[in-house]
């Protein structure tokens, strides 16, 4: 078990190094003069561009630059952005809590919706309840993210406010530390919009996985032992049906932490997704690179977490 964790962490480090290297090559290994010119700004003369090149360390060789970048990253330093010459760290520090709030809240919400409906569907296959849950799933699987977000805004912001009930704001983010209530009020609609679509996926996922498990021989054994239906379904069935759900959850959390672009855009949340979109628009390479490295790291880290969770949940994996 400990060997498995150590090996997984070792892989994690190797993959992260490879990611940073590829990112660095793609983004920074171009013509140093072009990079420096972009950093120096549109009106800069040759002297200013040379200064910029020195400031960015572009006068050094590639490996020195990469090493410098890597050491910076290890110290949690993403460098300066081109646009405003401010530390990228502070921008990420501002954007990350927004995205994290969005993701954590909606994950909890979609699991609370998806798991019970999925279990109900699987334990009553081909009944009215199952068909209702399929309808729910297909509806929200088919609705594009931004349409659902805008519909929520239309109903809960526009109509309610016109009716004199200003319960929900149109957009924006209030830090949890500043006002927990305002934080909640600002996050509810984004949470719902993201969670309903994800819950649709998880409903199907859990239904399928649990239906498979309930057809297994060991479920028949559990029933043959005289265990109650509850024990059979929850202790023996759901327990074994969790594996694919955890895989998907790990990937989803990793991906969304890198920025829930559409949801952030619709609800005016200045999270990592927004940061990346703005940076791309401004051709702000270091910021884009920082978000790419972060995004890749989240996904790799979540995969490692999933791998370790597998070993905790399934004794057969511990041998590997």
Please give the residue ranges that form the binding site for other proteins (CB under 8 A): 216-218, 220-229, 231, 236, 239-240, 313-316
The smaller minimum CB distance to other proteins, of residues 1 and 17, is found at: 1
99-121 core/surface letters (b: 16 or more CB in 10 A; e: else): bebbbebbbebbbebbbebbbbb
By C-beta, is 139 or 221 nearer to other proteins? Answer: 221
Q: How far is the CB of 225 from other proteins (least distance, A)?
A: 4
Distances, alpha carbon 84 to alpha carbons 94, 197, 287, 302, in Å:
15, 37, 11, 32
Which residue lies nearer to other proteins by CB, 46 or 125? 125
Residue 317 CB, shortest distance to other proteins, in Å, is: 10
Dihedral angle of Cα 110, 95, 262, 243, to the nearest 10 degrees: -30
What is the C-alpha separation between 199 and 192, in angstroms, rounded? 10
Identity of the residue, 163 or 319, whose beta carbon is nearer to other proteins in the bound complex: 319
Q: CA 304, CA 310: separation in Å to the nearest integer?
A: 10
Compare residues 236 and 265 and give the one whose CB is closer to other proteins: 236
Nearest approach in angstroms of CB 238 to other proteins is 11
Question: Is 68 or 223 the residue whose CB approaches other proteins more closely?
Answer: 223
Q: How far is the CB of 239 from other proteins (least distance, A)?
A: 6
- The minimum distance between CB 131 and other proteins, in angstroms, equals 16
In the complex, the smallest distance separating the C-beta of residue 127 from other proteins, rounded to whole angstroms, is 13
**Is the Cα torsion angle 109, 111, 116, 122 positive or negative in sign?**
positive
Q: How far apart are CA 165 and CA 228, in angstroms?
A: 49
Residue 93, Cα to own-chain centre: how many angstroms?
A: 16
């Amino acid at each position: 078990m400990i060997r498995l964790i150590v090996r997984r962490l070792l892989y994690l480090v190797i993959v992260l190094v490879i990611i940073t290297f590829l990112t660095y090559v793609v983004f920074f290994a171009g013509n140093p003069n072009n990079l420096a010119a972009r950093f120096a700004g549109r009106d800069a003369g040759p002297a200013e561009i040379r200064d910029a090149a020195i400031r960015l360390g572009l006068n050094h060789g590639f490996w020195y630059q990469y090493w410098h970048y890597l050491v910076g990253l290890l110290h949690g330093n993403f460098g300066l952005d081109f646009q405003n010459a401010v530390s990228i760290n502070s921008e990420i520090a501002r954007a990350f809590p927004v995205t994290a709030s969005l993701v954590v809240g909606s994950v909890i919400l979609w699991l609370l919706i998806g798991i019970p409906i999925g279990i109900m569907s699987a334990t009553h296959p081909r009944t009215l309840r199952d068909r209702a849950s399929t309808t729910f799933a297909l509806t929200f699987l088919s609705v594009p993210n931004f349409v659902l977000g805008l519909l929520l805004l239309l109903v809960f912001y526009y109509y309610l406010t016109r009716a004199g009930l200003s319960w929900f704001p149109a957009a924006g983010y209030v830090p949890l530390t500043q006002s927990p209530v305002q934080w909640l009020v600002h996050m509810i609609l984004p949470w719902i919009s993201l969670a309903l679509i994800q819950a649709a996926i998880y409903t199907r996922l859990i239904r399928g996985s649990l239906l498979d498990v309930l057809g297994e021989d060991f479920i028949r054994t559990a029933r043959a032992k005289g265990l109650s239906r509850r024990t059979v379904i929850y202790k023996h069935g759901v327990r074994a049906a969790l594996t694919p759900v955890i895989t998907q959850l790990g990937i989803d959390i990793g991906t969304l932490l890198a920025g829930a672009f559409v949801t952030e855009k619709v609800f005016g949340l200045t999270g990592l997704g927004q940061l990346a979109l703005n940076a791309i628009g401004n051709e702000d390479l270091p910021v884009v690179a920082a978000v790419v490295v972060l995004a890749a790291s989240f996904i790799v880290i979540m995969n490692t977490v999933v791998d370790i969770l597998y070993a905790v949940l399934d004794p057969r994996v511990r041998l590997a």
